[in-house]
Chain A
Amino acid sequence: MHKEKKQREPLFHIAKRPALPWYKSWGIRAIAILAALIFAGLVAMALTGENPLQIYVTMFKGNFSSERRLWMLLQSIAMLLCVSLAVTPAFKMRFWNIGAEGQVLVGGLATAACMIMFGNKMPNWLLIIVMIVCSMLAGAIWALIPAIFKAKFNTNETLFTLMMNYVGIQLVSYFVILWENPKGSGHIGIINQSTQAGWLPTIGSQKYMLNIIIVLAITVFMYIYLKYSKHGYELAVVGESENTARYIGVNVNKVIIRTMLLSGALCGVAGLLLVGGTDHTIATTTAGGRGFTAIMVSWLAKFNPIYMIATSFLLAFFERGASEISTIFNLDQSFSDIISGIILFFIIGSEFFINYEIKFTKRQKEVK
């Protein structure tokens, strides 16, 4: 008896899988999304008492039922994708830049500053060029500071970039109070509403078209940069092994700083598009958590810019859909957070099953 107990094996154990063929790994992801939808539907049904089909229909309608909603979805995807693309080169280098939120904010802040200080004082085309330069510079500087510390003193970039977010948020708070209108309201309001100075031009009648085109261009650029350029190769090597990189003659510090400059500058572009192209104001909520969601988008897409279109679509779709459900069924905002949480949980969970397999102990054989 005693002996038998000792020999008893656990019910299952977990082992790392060899790389799965693409159709299997995407199959697992598809199953996870389906499971997430079913589970989210069940939760929604429990809370609303509606038929789950109705809930999916609502989710779908929230994204596609009108032309404007479709554009809004595309805009959400574009902005999330823009930040995700920005953090990707750093991630590929294994530099955990979780400071995108702050980099986007300071980029937006620089844009707003240009609009407020130079609006109507220079021709609009010049103002927009100044805004582009300043926003990219601001984002780049915000990313450069932790990069230098990492390169020179090997500081922990995760904590450093995270804390830079809070500095950025406080900086925005300070300027909001400085520029607020009316006094004491804590709001800037729409900047240059009457003159539209510094507003990025609209293409045709579509407000979001320019943002979408710019982000598409960045996607293509990033794909080529990572896959075919020397820079892209170098940062991938640094990510795999710094020592290997050194051995083959790559200047690791230079690559870290260069990559973070790019990452920050692109975050600055996201800030530019949000402030100059969409909101025309700045607030601490302008980045809206995209800096953090972007980490997920980038990871789930395995740092591949083209896959990122799909992952950012997925997250934007669910977010808008969940928000529509809470409006239609009179649930409060926490409901959309719950739904987003469920979906993320499943999607992230699926990565586990792609990288590991569960091996059940085959008992019957032992008995024999």
Chain B
Amino acid sequence: MKSMKKIVAIVLAALLVVAVFAGCSKKDNSGETTKAAEQTSTIPADFKVGFIFLHDENSTYDLNFINGAKEACKELGIADENVIMKTGIEESNACYEAAMDLVDQGCKFIFADSFGHEDYMIQAAKEATEVQFFHATGTKAHTEKLANYHNAFASIYEGRYLAGIAAGMKLNELKDAGKLKGSTPKMGYVGAFTYAEVISGYTSFYLGAKSVCPDVTMDVTFTGSWYDETAEKEAATKLIETNKCDLISQHADSMGAPTACENAGVPNISYNGSTISACPNTFIVSSRINWAPYMKLAIENVANGKNADTGYDWTGTLETGSVLLTEVNEKAAAKGTQEAIDAAKAELAAGTRHVFDVANFTVTVTADKNVNAKVDDKGMLTSYMADVDSDAKFTGDTEAVKDGYFHESEFRSAPYFDIQIDGINLLDTKF
């Protein structure tokens, strides 16, 4: 059965090649026909792609990648048997083994989705130089400069900012209805670690809310794990009950926080995808990274030998379709939310509005807080040396504040905004 399939595949591939050459030689002058022939042949029939995922689809984080991979492969017409997905691959030597096993199976494109996979992907890339390796959320490609190792991320802070607008509007609605728990609106945020990606995420979310609801404050707590359903649920419950938060958002990968919100009837801004089916009454909107555009681009470039075009580091944006917002849940959201999001999105895309515009927040610098930042006498950020080129001592190496705003995800794709701005209260920083 299998050998039969193989023969058929080879025959088909051979036919395709013949067809392309025939097309080229016959109609060399007519550009259109050649182009059409090229499009069907961009991905060879025996082109294999491999994916490495930290968990399986039960984690919203990995599910988002798995969906992206499926979408990209489907659109490129890669047959199912040429797509190998390894789930549950730990951030250890297991990742290196998985990557090399994919190499052995003939994959020319190998993608890993979790931050801790990076070192092992680099190790594999150095060994299997004929294969291209791609790693989401990593930081080292632009300093390692390997021809076959690439990082990618998206300007998700823009998505978080837009989701924050939905949060701010909901708070305004609660305020007008006199339903706030305290005198001023307060949000709660469940983060995983005090990592730049999380800090950048909650700060942009807060700034989005603040842009429509100026007196909002936010409490942030950390669970110390990217996936810990119990801890996330407890953290959200604590924010709701003890800290009297009016709205919750989260940056961790389980259903813990959204479920806690649904149980308590507190509005929730989600991440990684819609949680409306589990939380029909409290889910407002969710931002997520759509990985399909990047995967598509990268796979096509591998197939065509144009890997330099993918670059060491790639940042997806609103424009590339990499930063998405789910549909707004009318049942939970304030009126006019969608319109407000659309308006802000247009301004972000046009460059007339910046998420980290220094005029919109203040920063307090002390001996042990925000040491890389410089502020003027009003607390406005004037300079920040970000740690873009990762090193063991976390030295700031790149000036990120220019033209009145902090340039996030421009010097490398992975976020490096790690300033603690005023108005956000960190309940604990032990992780």
Which residues of chain A have a CB within 8 Å of any CB of chain B?
66, 68-69, 72, 173, 177, 181-187, 189-190, 193, 278-281, 283, 285-286, 288, 323, 326-327, 330, 332-334, 336
B103 to nearest A CB, angstroms? 9
Which residues of chain B have a CB within 8 Å of any CB of chain A?
55-58, 84-88, 90-93, 97, 100-101, 104-105, 115-116, 118-120, 122-123, 139, 192-196, 198-199, 224-226, 387, 390, 392, 394, 418, 430-431
Bound-complex Cα distance A278 to B56 (A):
24
Look across to chain B and name the residue whose beta carbon is closest to the beta carbon of A335.
B56
- Most chain B C-beta atoms within 10 Å of own C-beta, residue among A66, A189, A285, A336: A189
Look across to chain B and name the residue whose beta carbon is closest to the beta carbon of A182.
B390
Q: Tell me which residues across on chain B come within 8 A of A186, comparing CB atoms.
A: 192-193, 195, 224-226, 431
Flag if A184 contacts B87 (CB, 8 Å).
Answer: no
If A177-B431, A279-B92, A285-B90 touch, whether A185 touches B85 (CB-CB below 8 Å) is no
Flag if A326 contacts B87 (CB, 8 Å).
Answer: yes
Flag if A182 contacts B116 (CB, 8 Å).
Answer: no
User: Which of these, A185, A278, A336, contacts B195 with CB under 8 Å?
Assistant: A185
If A186-B193, A332-B87, A333-B55 touch, whether A286 touches B431 (CB-CB below 8 Å) is no
Flag if B84 contacts A66 (CB, 8 Å).
Answer: no
User: Which of these, B55, B97, B122, B194, contacts A184 with CB under 8 Å?
Assistant: B194
28 contacts between A and B (CB under 8 A): A66-B101, A66-B104, A66-B105, A68-B101, A69-B101, A173-B224, A177-B224, A183-B418, A184-B196, A185-B115, A186-B192, A186-B195, A186-B431, A190-B119, A190-B120, A193-B122, A281-B92, A281-B119, A283-B116, A285-B90, A285-B92, A288-B90, A327-B87, A332-B57, A332-B87, A332-B88, A334-B56, A336-B88
Flag if A332 contacts B56 (CB, 8 Å).
Answer: yes
If A190-B119, A285-B92, A332-B57 touch, whether A182 touches B139 (CB-CB below 8 Å) is yes
If A72-B97, A190-B123, A283-B92 touch, whether A182 touches B55 (CB-CB below 8 Å) is no
Flag if B394 contacts A182 (CB, 8 Å).
Answer: yes
Q: Tell me which residues across on chain A come within 8 A of B390, comparing CB atoms.
A: 181-182
User: Which of these, B58, B84, B105, B193, contacts A185 with CB under 8 Å?
Assistant: B193
Dominant SS among interface residues on chain B: loop
If A187-B116, A278-B93 touch, whether A182 touches B196 (CB-CB below 8 Å) is yes
A65 to nearest B CB, angstroms? 8
Bound-complex Cα distance A130 to B383 (A):
45
Q: Tell me which residues across on chain A come within 8 A of B116, comparing CB atoms.
A: 185, 187, 189, 283
Q: Tell me which residues across on chain B come within 8 A of A66, comparing CB atoms.
A: 101, 104-105
Q: Tell me which residues across on chain A come within 8 A of B57, comparing CB atoms.
A: 332
Q: Tell me which residues across on chain A come within 8 A of B90, comparing CB atoms.
A: 283, 285, 288
Q: Tell me which residues across on chain B come within 8 A of A173, comparing CB atoms.
A: 224
If A189-B118, A281-B92, A332-B58 touch, whether A183 touches B104 (CB-CB below 8 Å) is no
Flag if B88 contacts A333 (CB, 8 Å).
Answer: yes
User: Which of these, A189, A286, A327, A333, contacts B119 with CB under 8 Å?
Assistant: A189
Look across to chain B and name the residue whose beta carbon is closest to the beta carbon of A190.
B119
Q: Tell me which residues across on chain A come within 8 A of B226, comparing CB atoms.
A: 186
Flag if B195 contacts A68 (CB, 8 Å).
Answer: no
Look across to chain A and name the residue whose beta carbon is closest to the beta carbon of B224.
A186
Given A183-B418, A326-B87, output 18 extra A-B contacts at Cβ < 8 Å.
A72-B101, A182-B195, A182-B387, A184-B195, A184-B198, A185-B115, A186-B195, A190-B123, A278-B93, A279-B92, A283-B91, A288-B90, A327-B84, A327-B85, A332-B56, A332-B87, A334-B56, A336-B88
Look across to chain A and name the residue whose beta carbon is closest to the beta carbon of B390.
A182
Look across to chain A and name the residue whose beta carbon is closest to the beta carbon of B429.
A184
Q: Tell me which residues across on chain A come within 8 A of B92, comparing CB atoms.
A: 279, 281, 283, 285-286
If A181-B392, A189-B118 touch, whether A333 touches B224 (CB-CB below 8 Å) is no
A327 to nearest B CB, angstroms? 5
B420 to nearest A CB, angstroms? 12
Q: Tell me which residues across on chain B come within 8 A of A333, comparing CB atoms.
A: 55-56, 87-88
Flag if B86 contacts A327 (CB, 8 Å).
Answer: yes
User: Which of these, A68, A190, A281, contacts B104 with CB under 8 Å?
Assistant: A68
Q: Tell me which residues across on chain B come within 8 A of A184, comparing CB atoms.
A: 193-196, 198-199, 418, 431
The 5 closest A-B pairs by CB, nearest first: A184-B195, A333-B88, A332-B56, A190-B119, A184-B194
